[in-house]
């Protein structure tokens, strides 16, 4: 079976983890935590990077640090992983769903103004599958209406807009290092910002609200959201090979497009000036029935796939007013992710494309 994803752990991961074990620094203190944070900040062109336990708590901390809470509304695409929206609920705020563009599958900026009201506090841009949202346009809107801007970069490590890394266009941004991400720590995340005050708030909150300069004195209600030294060790080793991972994923996407070009399939379209990191390579079929039949066919041929994210606005806890987002529903119902890990061989890609061709004969 060719899996949808498989991390590459053939660098310094084992050596660095063994250093943690040999030194006994296995919890949330140790050199790898600070080294990983600094290296990540440098790689992503950010001033401050705070490591955390996973991508979901990264979002929670970002919202808390901005002071978003009950009575506030946060605009977010429905076409996203559930964590983006759940984190808004964690702080007591209300998610307001926006539709996406049909070509890039990203938040449709042209629809935002109609959603603004006195309760709107922030826009959460989610860079789906490695393509970025239109951040220059979102920056302009956020400044005009005095809104906070948050980037969920969980799927977009390595993505750039005109040479500028995502995560640097907003007040605060978050990353995930789950096992299927381009850079993984097994479980882990990062909160990045250019603002020292926000970084200080995030670190205060993630460490149980411990007051700086005083032992075991906690002056706010905080959280245990810290990353372990072992996870950071894996992350640092992964980061050393990040350019290789990204270039391989970009080559993989290009090869998929070559092999599948003449079939009745649609791909995510890349806008001008974008460096797409291609976290996942995805295809759209004609309709949901065709998508499901193709997925079953590929499974029978030894190829694992997964559906695109289901629209969050249709899930029971969020389907309150039975909102319709036609583009989101149209794309989510027809799409699937193909195997997309950097260690894939051309023989694997040929096997997958042959299996898809067999389906369409």
DSSP one-letter code for 308: P
Paired tokens of 9: 């752990």
29 is catalytic: no
Does residue 71 sit in helix, strand or coil? coil
Rounded to 5°, angle at Cα 327 from 85 and 279: 60
Q: How far is CA 135 from the centre of its chain?
A: 15
Angle at 89 between CA 79 and CA 155, to 5 degrees: 40
Q: Indicate which residue of 181, 201, 248, 249 is catalytic.
A: 181
22's enclosing H/E stretch is helix 13-23
Quote the tokens at residue 251. 């080559």
Q: Do 185 and 231 contact (CB within 8 A), yes or no? A: yes
| Residue 295 token pair | 């997925």
* Phi/psi at 354 (5° precision): -65, -40
In order, the DSSP letters of 44-70 are TT-SEEEEES-HHHHHHHHHHHTT--T
What is the pairing mode between strands 148-152 and 172-176? parallel
Tokens of 16: 């660095």
Distance CA 198, CA 193 (A): 7
The catalytic residues are 181
């Amino acid at each position: 079976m060719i899996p949808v994803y498989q991390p590459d752990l053939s660098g310094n991961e084992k050596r660095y983890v063994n250093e943690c074990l040999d030194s006994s620094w296995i919890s949330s203190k140790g050199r790898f935590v600070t080294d990983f944070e600094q290296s990540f900040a440098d790689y992503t062109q950010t001033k401050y990077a705070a490591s955390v336990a996973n991508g979901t708590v990264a979002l929670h901390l970002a919202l808390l640090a901005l002071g978003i809470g009950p009575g506030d509304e946060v605009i977010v695409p429905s076409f996203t992983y559930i964590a983006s929206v759940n984190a808004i609920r964690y702080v007591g705020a209300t998610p307001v769903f926006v539709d996406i563009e049909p070509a890039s599958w990203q938040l449709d900026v042209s629809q935002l103004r109609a959603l603004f009201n006195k309760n709107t506090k922030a826009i959460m841009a989610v860079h789906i599958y490695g393509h970025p949202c239109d951040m220059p346009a979102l920056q302009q809107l956020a400044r005009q209406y005095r809104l906070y801007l948050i980037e969920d970069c969980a799927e977009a490590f390595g993505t750039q807009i005109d040479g500028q890394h995502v995560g640097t266009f907003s007040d605060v941004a978050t990353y995930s290092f789950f096992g299927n991400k381009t850079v993984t720590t097994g479980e882990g995340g990062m909160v990045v910002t250019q603002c020292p005050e926000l970084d200080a708030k995030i670190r205060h909150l993630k460490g149980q609200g411990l007051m700086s300069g005083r032992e075991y004195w906690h002056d706010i209600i905080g959280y245990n959201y810290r990353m372990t030294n072992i996870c950071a060790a894996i992350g640092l080793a992964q980061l050393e090979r990040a350019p290789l991972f990204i270039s391989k994923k970009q080559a993989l996407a290009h090869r998929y497009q070559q092999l599948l070009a003449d079939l009745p399939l649609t791909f995510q379209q890349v806008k001008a000036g974008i460096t797409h990191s291609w976290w996942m390579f995805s295809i759209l079929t004609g309709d949901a029935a065709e998508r499901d039949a193709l997925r079953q066919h590929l499974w029978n041929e030894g190829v694992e796939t997964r559906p695109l994210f289901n629209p969050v606005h249709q899930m029971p806890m969020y389907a309150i007013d039975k909102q319709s987002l036609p583009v989101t529903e149209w794309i989510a119902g027809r799409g699937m992710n193909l195997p997309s890990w950097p260690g894939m061989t051309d023989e694997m890609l040929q096997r997958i494309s042959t299996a898809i061709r067999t389906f369409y004969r």
